[in-house]
Amino acid sequence: MADHVQTVVIGAGVVGLAIARELAPHGPLLVLEREDAIGTGTSSRNSEVIHAGMYYAAGTLKARSCVQGRRQLYDYCVEHGVAHRRTGKLIVATEAAQLPALKTIAERAHANGLTTPDDALQWLDAAQVQAMEPALRCVGALWSPSTGVVDTHALMLSLQGEAEAQGAALAPCTEFVGAERVGPHWRVRTRGSDGEAFEVDCTWLVNAAGLQAQHVAARIEGLDAAHIPPALWLKGSYFSLSGCRAPFSRLIYPVPSGGGLGVHLTLDMGGQARFGPDTEALDPALAAHDQPDYRVDPQRADAFYDAIRRYWPELPDGALQPAYSGIRPKLAQGGPGLDANDFEVSGPPRHGLPGLVQLFGIESPGITASLALASEVAQVLAGDRATGS
Ligand SMILES: Cc1cc2nc3c(=O)[nH]c(=O)nc-3n(C[C@H](O)[C@H](O)[C@H](O)COP(=O)(O)OP(=O)(O)OC[C@H]3O[C@@H](n4cnc5c(N)ncnc54)[C@H](O)[C@@H]3O)c2cc1C
């Protein structure tokens, strides 16, 4: 007979771990992770920015979970000693033609509830920006005081620790290979890295497998393929700065473009600058066969120099070095307004299968939104229990 737990969470990225922490008080919980450590996927291939929530259309899950998640995350970091810094961020227009795009962002921020002295965006003219960041060239900017950076790995370790303290267990090197309904439960089949098979029954099954969420979904018996969205991978490469330090103490973003936020400058917890991510649509065959390609093509540096010198003309020749890349799990090709892609939390009201919740398209701002997404999953499961489905 298979062991029984209340919940199986598939995937130990920041979202799966936040969900594990949230659901652990409801009963025994197992997190399956196919790699040998937590957070080796998208959760360690990103900008580590705590986003304020100004880019996404009001009413979307992205907008809601980003704003709520950002507030929760700052509180969480303070309470649990997770390293973070409220750096603030400037979104810059480098030519007058970009000012309407900034206006749209300012309107969205307002519609998304960024209205307190803590998080409301402020308009700055070129002289005000110069006073803050003398090396920055622009015709105007929006200042976001509530944007910051977080040590994502420390966050994940903290979430894991809390989940485990409440009785959850992590199974590394354990791949989800399928699930089927057996009576009132899910029977989950797994395979260890040594090839050993193992089965466990659960009441709640949560698919938080990030880039692989569609692959996992396809192995859940009884799930109509109509409820599995297409997997579109949009790669983002980063370049680091070598031989000099960036003369900025705040995050610098251009106006968004190409389904991403534009080649921006972020600072890690040590104040070291990195640039990116750019946008590169990957061949759909790579997503279909689960073959992420994380190599950074040094040739992409040319476009980085062009993009960065629009706001930092003094960027020295030869200063950019290929660093790393991440892949955004998109559900639709994104336009400049980033509207084409919302997060998808798909529960029983949508697909009709009891106790199953799946997360699709958890690209940026997934770190910022992780605690709010975990609450969202708990609410979906509470609703499922209430209707007795
Ligand atoms: C370029 C880039 C920049 C970003 N910048 C930011 C940012 O600055 N701020 C922000 O808030 N967000 C940012 N994001 C988004 C954020 O990184 C992601 O939303 C978040 O990390 C997703 O976490 P996750 O847990 O859903 O996925 P992942 O971290 O990918 O975790 C999924 C886990 O599931 C495991 N898994 C997969 N298949 C199986 C299986 N069959 N069995 C068992 N385990 C399995 C994987 O090994 C992996 O560990 C960025 C994303 C990208 C790509």
Residue range 131-140, pLDDT digits in tens: 999 999 999 9
Instruction: Give the right CATH number for 3-45+153-229+341-387 from 3.30.300.130, 3.30.70.260, 3.50.50.60, 3.90.1150.10.
Output: 3.50.50.60
State pLDDT tens for residues 197-210.
999 999 999 999 99
Q: Quick one: which of 381, 64, 9 has its CA closest to 188?
A: 9
Name the CATH superfamily housing domain 87-147+231-330: D-Amino Acid Oxidase, subunit A, domain 2 (3.30.9.10)
Q: Give the pLDDT mean for 247-251.
A: 94
| Ligand 1 within 6 A of CB of 38 | no
Instruction: Tell me if 301 CB under 6 Å of ligand 1.
Output: no
* φ, ψ dihedrals at 283, nearest 5°: -55, 125
d(CA 136, CA 122): 17
pLDDT number for residue 258: 65
Q: For the chain, which residues make up each domain, given as ranges?
A: 3-45+153-229+341-387, 87-147+231-330
With the most atoms of ligand 1 within 8 angstroms of its CB, the residue from 367, 373, 376 to mutate is 367
Per-residue pLDDT band for 336 (boundaries 50, 70, 90) equals very low
Nearest C-alpha neighbor of 375 from the set 349, 357, 351: 357
Q: What is the pLDDT of residue 257?
A: 72
Average pLDDT, the chain: 94
CA–CA dist 105, 320 (Å, integer): 29
Measuring from atom 15 of ligand 1, which residue has the nearest CA?
364
CB of 149 shorter than 6 A to ligand 1: no
Asked whether 164 lines ligand 1 (CB < 6 A), one says no
Mean pLDDT of 340-354: 93
Q: What is the mean pLDDT of residues 275-284?
A: 93
Q: Is 98's pLDDT higher than 70?
A: yes
Tell me if 40 sits within 8 A of 239, measured CB to CB: no
Residues for the chain: how many in total? 389
Q: Is 374 in the pocket of ligand 1 (CB under 6 A)?
A: no
Residue 2 pLDDT level (bands cut at 50, 70, 90): confident
Phi, psi of 371 (to 5 degrees): -70, -35
- E strand spans, 129-173: 140-144, 148-150, 169-171
Would you state the pLDDT for residue 47?
A: 95
Q: What is the pLDDT of residue 335?
A: 46
Over 90: is that where the pLDDT of 172 sits? yes
Q: How confident is the model at residue 261 (pLDDT cuts 50, 70, 90)?
A: confident
What pLDDT shows up at residue 72?
98
Site to substitute for ligand 1 among 234, 344, 363, 368, most atoms within 8 A of C-beta: 363
The whole-number pLDDT of residue 334 equals 53
32 lines ligand 1 (CB under 6 A): yes
Give the Å distance between the CA of 313 and the centre of ligand 1: 33
329: CA distance to ligand 1 center in Å?
A: 9
Q: For the segment 307-335, what is each residue's pLDDT rounded down to a tens digit?
A: 999 999 999 999 999 999 999 999 976 54
Which numbered atom of ligand 1 lies nearest the CA of 32?
43
The mean per-residue pLDDT over the stretch 219-235 comes to 95
Give percent of the chain above pLDDT 90: 90
Ligand 1 atom closest to the Cα of residue 210 is: 27
Query: Dihedral angle at the C-alpha atoms of 194, 197, 202, 208, nearest 10 degrees?
Result: 40
> What mean pLDDT is predicted for residues 8-18?
98
- At 262 the pLDDT is 83
pLDDT at 340: 64
Find the mean pLDDT for residues 279-297: 94
What pLDDT is attached to residue 245?
A: 87
